[in-house]
Amino acid sequence: MTVSTRLPPHVSLLAIAATLAFPQISAARAAEGQQSGDAAAEEKAEAAEIVVTGSSLKGVAPVGSNLISVTADAIEKTNAQTVQQILRSVPAVVGLGSAGQGSFNSASQSGTNAPTIHGLGGSASNSTLNIIDGHRIPLSGVNHSLGDPNMVPVTMIERVEVLAEGASSIYGSDAVAGVINFITRRKFDGLQTSGQMGFGDDYRTYQLGFVAGTSWENGWVTVGYNYSDRSRLKTASRSFLGADQRQRATDAGLDLSSATAQNRANFASFNCDPASVQPGGTTNIFSNTGSGYGNPVSNAQANAFCDINQIGDQLPEERRHNVMMKAEQKVGDKLTLGGDILYSNRKNNQQVSRGQSGTGGGAVLATVFGPGSVPAGGVGQINPFYVAMPGQTSTSQQVRFSGDNLLGPGAEINSGEEHFFVNTRAEYELSDKWAISALALIGTSSSFVRDTGRLNQSAALLALNGTTNQGGSLTTVSVPATGVIVTQLPLTTANALDVWNSGAANRTSAAVRARLTDTTTYRFTRQGIQNYRLQAAGELFDLPGGAVQVAVGGEYIAYTIRQNAAFANGTGPSSSGSTTINLDYKRNVKAAYAEVLLPFIGPEQEIPGIYKLELNLAGRVDEYSDFGSTTNPKVAASWEPVRGIRVRGNWSKSFVAPALTSFGADGRGTTAETSIAGGPANLAVPIAAYPGVNTIPGIACTTTACTVGTPTIQGLQINGGNSDLVAQKGTSWALGVDFTPSFAPGLRLSATFWNNEFTGGVTAPASGSAVNITGLQPLLQIFPNGATPAQLAEIIGNRPLTTTIPGSVRYVYDFRQRNVLNLKVQGIDADVRYSRSADWGSYSVGAAMSLKTKFDQNFGGGPTFSVLNTTGFNGTFPSIRLDLRGDVGVKVGDFAVDLFVNHTGGYRNFSGNAINPVVSVGGVPTGAGGDPVKAYTTFDTHLAYTLPEGWMKDGEVFLDVQNLFNVKPSFYNNAQGYDTFAGNPILRVISVGVRTRF
């Protein structure tokens, strides 16, 4: 990509909007390609000249920073149908080997995808800012506020640029890790269409799109549309997605010689149909093999055999409509007006299992009573369908069962998002050196999730033992939402549930079946944004290297969120017993910024050892209506000792404002996730930090710690947002070099060493770590004699209850989100590319790499430890050391062939599912343990043929193959058998398509 350092006097305000957005950076990552046709060449030249990225200044050459750029030509070689798929080709953006379909670790059930740079960011602290043409976009998600750039039609993308460094001095919040800027097409004459079909094993994709436009002497209008349809990926269609991962673990070289290791590798359960039953007072679990209940199968997880995951989809089906229109008109000699309108709509459908008895995979079981039992409520609680175990004298059972065979298919999750924004802009030239510009944007995003047909747990309990209490108690409050005991007595053949027989032999009535699937939950969130900006920019005076340029401006941003949710309250069918949540959030931001370019030395001075020397200074102040203000400066410099070699560096401070969905809708930090739940189980509490914990009656203690969370030591947990949150801060610096030697035309080398410190990241600290960190220990309160009614009233307040309040609350853990995560991350981003033309055609070869060299973290001022080259320890912050993408391309006449290699280096599984548990001391990993995960390497190909000139221009047919050798993702011990950060379960996909231009 070639970046011009000049702008014509009549440049449109679109250029100014872009200049406000993205720090100028080198084009080291650009995968350039020659686009045939005079019109296409002119269009590209104009775009390169006008769209200036990364500065508030006008026409500024790159200063001090590194740009990772993906051009339109490179995008066309990836068969990408969405922005998410485009970013899979950028090693610095997390998810190089991922599926690129559905939500990507964003913790948003509506399918929001929020890409992150270098793994710095999670659902509540996403530190990557995603923008379009230099301006912000409406945020989305049902539970979080995330920028999802998939709203942009792929057909409208001119290029994607990734700035992997702090940039709050230009943009304000969210740019600690950097910025991803999606630059769209401008002036376009004619009609360009595209279409493709993709085929995989039990998988299909379709895409249709067009770009149309026209121009006149003083203006233009361009419209782009894209439709994509990607099928669901059924879990049962991939053998490696089974719940029993023992064989794959063995094949991966992991030691499964112990029963404990086998248990960890088997995610199947005893939740079968008909039920697996455990007679009261025993540890034996019996299964029905089809001929009745016989010998016990085992109570060891390694012998579990029911895989309910095979019922549903690994990836949801997805349909997208995206449309964007842009226009510009020059009015007189000095005024230019422009505007953009964007609309997108995505719908997902995912088939899921009906579900299973109890919760937590069946760990909490339903007790049923049979003939001869004397339950608390008498004979009215005896289930008339009860089947006693041969040879067992017990008259009660705990049952584990799945609702899929009993109820048939039909459970599903429907989700989606709808985005809309209007962006207007204007520029007025005060002189040939100064101009003022303005921008106004209004946008909304609506996200929803509708979960239907799942097994209604409370309705199942009512039909099993006559109460909504899993143990069948008629004296213990079982529905915290109502504070009463809900019963359905006496049990009869008309209202009871039969889990002992399947198929035609099952005697559950139609009315009961209907109540069992009456469990719809619905969440809807509408987020709004208003953004206004005014700027003046121009030249002050001349230095030896050129004119000193300056820009000053102000910005106002207003955010609103409305959350609505409805879900079953635990009293039975959701249609007759549901709880609703309605919350309104709002925030406004006022900002002022300034930037100056000092070109000290230029080529004209002919100074030995200093071909060019420039300094760039920028700063921004943001004042938030809810948590306060921040100030963020940046210093950047570029030094070219000789032409073709550039040394660059920058230092900056940045921040991430606490998300509104973390900060809360009121002074108590209330969010849709706020609740009072059961306290953490089996929590080892150090006696030295919590004097008196060892005096709790019946508590189990060692010499140093006591364990709470057992059936006798019960407590509560506070979940949700926190109105005490403040800005999450980042300090970053980078040093790099770009080499474009004149003696080797077509060769470009670039390397950047970057350092990023992220402090006060928002997360909910795990209790196992918090009790051992001095600064977090107040989050756990111990009540040796039990919390008093007044203390409980203060703790509970108006928060929704999702658990029974124990008779004696001995501890309370505050699991609300806090500014406690601190990261120190370093790495190297590098790129090399060589391209040449010859008499017979042209060729190119290149590679881009992102290598992390440090990933240290601590919680709340506790000990610092490394999680470099791991995933899973802190959920949404992957720290895989190496991602690499290379390519080789050859063009001969009208034929072109490209081969790509995608490589993710080996790393370790540090999640709680690791077969070799991570060795921790006081909740802090020592670096020992965890499972090795093998490197993952796939190959993609692109073949294209340019059609002869005729009634269309630049016609092309193409064939793309993703994952050419059908490589399975590396084994990662979890219920899917692969790591969603680095593995793609879709496997090989062959796509054929055509592009035309009229």
DSSP characters for 427-460? EEESSSSEEEEEEEEEEEEEEEEEEES---HHHH
Contact 535, 323 (CB under 8 A): no
Q: Classify residue 269: in a domain, yes or no.
A: yes
Q: Classify residue 690: in a domain, yes or no.
A: yes
Q: Domain ends where: 797, 814, 831?
A: 814
Helix (H, G, I), strand (E, B) or coil at 310: helix
Q: Classify residue 304: in a domain, yes or no.
A: yes
Q: How far apart are CA 153 and CA 136, in angstroms?
A: 16
Backbone torsions φ then ψ of 948, nearest 5 degrees = -60, 150
Preceding peptide of 274 cis, ω within 30°: yes
Count Cβ atoms below 10 Å from residue 603 Cβ, excluding itself: 12
pLDDT reported for residue 439: 97
Q: How far apart are CA 745 and CA 336, in angstroms?
A: 39
pLDDT reported for residue 61: 66
C-alpha distances out from residue 420 to 125, 289, 909, 916, Å: 24, 55, 40, 48
pLDDT averaged per 10 residues, the chain (length 998): 34 33 34 39 43 71 84 86 85 83 69 86 81 94 89 94 92 93 93 95 96 96 97 94 92 92 88 84 76 61 73 93 97 96 96 75 70 73 90 86 87 96 97 95 97 93 90 75 79 95 91 95 96 96 94 97 91 90 96 96 93 96 96 97 96 95 90 90 94 95 93 92 94 96 93 96 90 94 95 89 84 95 96 93 96 94 93 83 96 95 96 92 86 97 90 84 96 92 93 92
Q: Which long-range contacts (CB under 8 A, 24 or more apart) does 356-361 make?
A: 356/269, 356/271, 356/308, 356/400, 356/401, 356/402, 356/403, 356/455, 357/271, 357/275, 357/399, 357/400, 357/401, 357/402, 357/455, 357/457, 357/460, 357/499, 358/400, 358/457, 358/470, 359/457, 361/269, 361/271
**CA-based nearest residue to 786, from 686, 683, 715:** 715
Residue span of the structural domain in which 696 resides: 666-726+766-814
Half-sphere exposure of 344 (CA within 13 A, CB side): 32
Structure tokens at 713: 């030591």
Contacts of 216 (CB under 8 A, 6+ apart): none
Number of domains the chain contains = 2
Q: How far apart are CA 722 and CA 665, in angstroms?
A: 10
> Residue 93, exposed/middle/buried by CB under 10 A (0-12, 13-18, 19+)?
buried
Q: What is the CA radius of gyration of the chain?
A: 30
Q: What percentage of the chain's residues is helix, strand, coil (to nearest 5)?
A: 10, 45, 45
Q: Classify residue 483: in a domain, yes or no.
A: yes
Q: Domain ends where: 814, 834, 854?
A: 814
pTM: 0.90
Q: Classify residue 504: in a domain, yes or no.
A: yes
Q: How far apart are CA 310 and CA 664, in angstroms?
A: 38
Q: Classify residue 363: in a domain, yes or no.
A: yes
Structure tokens at 823: 């990261």
Q: Classify residue 621: in a domain, yes or no.
A: no
Q: Classify residue 394: in a domain, yes or no.
A: no
Q: Domain ends where: 790, 814, 838?
A: 814
Q: How far apart are CA 522 and CA 695, in angstroms?
A: 45
